[in-house]
Structure 1
């Protein structure tokens, strides 16, 4: 199975929330933001924001967006820029283009979109795997034809652990800041960017030899951690020298992993065993099954020390307890004592996601693969915070 043989195999289109769409219109004296619809490929969202800022003549930090979109895909998203005197109707640069949709009083943020539409081509399938996509999907459809799936976090959430050596967040709760720092900047991964590949390999080879490492470490935000160590500062100070987003994502990645484990335990306990579908995941098995409709509105807490277990349903309590036992931690341990932030804090995440407008194409020969291999296309729409890769896992890909 291959996804993203070419960027055009993975298309994502943002769907504006009704309120944001209603407030988009012609320019008025109250318009503070111009809103562009941008289509990009082989660029990150921040990359495009910087290039758009140059084209319209505003600081990069003033470009707003609703969500980060994949680099290796064809993605369409909205971006807002300050309503300067004139804005071009069309913008274009290497890897992106866009059109001015209209004007708004509001800067774009996460609440500005209702979700995303996906169009994905899955290639290099055996005939059996291609047929299994439809059979697994049939298992998950309810009597009304709707498809609901467990709302697992996708592998994109675990970028800081993609090297397969563990979670920095787990090191942090045990007070092992050296181990956490090493996982974050000193452990190479196959899909690292060129800059990250350069500094993670150097750090892996010269860890502990801070002056030598500093001499070869490239100029990038992560360099500040090595500068702190070379100056004789503690590993805690070095960790807090990392970009704050990296620090927070180390915590959130581990919490997301624990949430997935809790959800997997819960599904196995409440679903009929013969209807449970297992999917392989780089971070452990995940389970899918058709669930009773009363579970569709259930919120499963993201594990943290401040979860009030007494407010949870008994089935949820048992699932969370079992998931934490599996990894050898307790809720009380989910805190970082040495720093005020980043911090473990709970939020509720919907247990289920609705996969709307789902269409699965007929099986076709894969024109990009030799031999008897096949492809299928799948289209669907998800709400914000849900992952298309989880849908693919559910149907066996």
Structure 2
């Protein structure tokens, strides 16, 4: 998952045996700035929902809103927001509430100010896009030249609109999706994934504890002192009583179950898009992604660009619409490769969440893309490239960065 308190290194791998450049992003929060763009303007006359502008630095969205809600004596569930923004960034986003309580807030690295009113509460569909200001650091002259050339191509042709690593934080080190195990009705394996998962940057003591859980898996009473997380303890109590693995999964919070399922759905969509690119585009390069590397294009013939720019691909789900462009066979190959049938994506036994299909554009073309080069004051003798651009809602700036970092 692309996250961290210091710098993030992106390594872009190409198939040729040439030198692989490295660059650093998020060396400090100011190097990665994001601002939501609301799809509809707010009004200043009183309406059902008050909307606040949230500014945060080194806070994730849920923790930031939880802190504000706690300080004002309201429940987090009374606040509604458009999407989560990275902790290691300087972000501006919006949230709404129907509560009459004034949610204005100010502390170090976190503030909320009244922005206006809305007739409806905010949600994922309330923004049209995000504006990014990003600094790429620690580049040499050759690397900056490569990136400059690729930026020119991306400005014209965009990039493949894959879901990026942030979407796949639940995937185990072995590339196992809890969501895939649930879809395959292998509930025990799903539980083991959930109990033993840890963030790549976790302390060694956490990794050791998770390894011990894996080694004692099935001996539920022995796991009790190792499962300190409340959500794990709730599931473990069900297993200890001899109830089924499915009943244990029923203790997962709604949001977490939804995350597991949507993560797997996003993975299938990525494979579908990659398969479509293989059939329609030449000159593909490999970019390093989680949980598997993916293919990205460079430039496109005019007709291919037009076709891809118009292509909206439905995310896999039972009852999904037909994949347009005659690419249904690509989806069939993807599902076969994972040992899954489309009908298996209907999950009546899972009460917390379900998979529904929605359309996602095949490619993303940044708007107002501009960039400049300068000396890197943090890494003497090296160069920086500063980027500014707008992406449609749901597109990943980190995917754009991966796309331009090797050409």
The interval holding the TM-score normalised by the smaller chain is 0.7 to 0.9
Kept after mapping to 2: 8 A contact 1:33/1:104:
yes
Q: Distance in 2 between matches of 1:195 and 1:304?
A: 39
Q: Deviation per CA, 1:89-140, whole angstroms, max 9, x where unpaired?
A: x521243012222333432222222111111112223332222112122233
TM-score (norm 2): 0.84
Q: What is the root-mean-square deviation of aligned Cα atoms in Å?
A: 2.7
Unaligned residue ranges in structure 2 (runs of 5+): 1-22
1:74 aligns with 2:83: no
Task: Show CA shifts across 1:27-82 (max 9, x none).
Answer: x3xx3333221111222212121222234342222112111111111111112233
How many residue pairs end up in the alignment?
Answer: 379
CA distance in 1, matches of 2:199, 2:70: 32
Contact conserved, 2:371 with 2:386, CA < 8 A, in 1? yes
Change (3 A) 1:237 1:113: same
Superposed displacement of residue 394, structure 1: 1.3
Q: 1:214-267, CA deviations, whole angstroms, 9 ceiling, x for partnerless residues? A: 234224233211121122211111112111222222221111111111111111
* Distance (whole Å) between structure 2 residues aligned to residue 340 and residue 87 of structure 1: 35
> Relative to structure 1, is the Cα distance of residues 74 and 211 closer, same or farther in structure 2, using a 3 angstrom cutoff?
same
Unmatched runs of 5 consecutive residues or more in structure 1: none
Deviation at 1:13, TM superposition (A): 0.6
> Could you tell me how far apart the structure 2 residues matched to 1:109 and 1:240 are?
26
2:57–2:90: 8 Å Cα contact kept in structure 1?
Answer: yes
State the shift of 1:196 in Å.
7.7
**Match in the other structure for 1:347:** 358
CA distance in structure 1 between the aligned counterparts of 2:214 and 2:234, rounded to whole angstroms: 17
2:316 corresponds to which of 303, 306, 326:
303
The yes-or-no answer on 1:11 pairing with 2:42 is no
2:193 counterpart of 1:183: yes
> Partner residue of 1:25?
44
CA contact (8 A) 1:34 1:80 kept: yes
Residue of 99, 102, 114 corresponding to 1:100: 114
Structure 2 counterparts to residues 276-355 of structure 1, below 5 A: 276-282=284-290, 283-289=292-298, 290=300, 291-309=304-322, 312-314=324-326, 316-336=327-347, 339=350, 342-355=353-366
Q: Distance in 1 between matches of 2:329 and 2:172?
A: 29
Question: For residues 1-397 of structure 1, what are the structure 2 equivalents within 5 Å?
Answer: 1-18=23-40, 21=41, 23-26=42-45, 28=46, 31-84=47-100, 87=102, 90-142=104-156, 147-161=157-171, 163-192=173-202, 200=210, 203-271=213-281, 273-274=282-283, 276-282=284-290, 283-289=292-298, 290=300, 291-309=304-322, 312-314=324-326, 316-336=327-347, 339=350, 342-362=353-373, 364-369=374-379, 372-396=381-405
Query: C-alpha displacement at 1:382, in angstroms?
Result: 1.1
Aligned mates of 1:196, 1:222 — CA distance in 2: 14
TM-score calculated relative to the size of structure 1: 0.86
C-alpha contact (below 8 Å) 2:38/2:129 kept by paired residues = yes
Deviations 1:182-226 (A, max 9, x none): 112213331359998697456335322222322342242332111
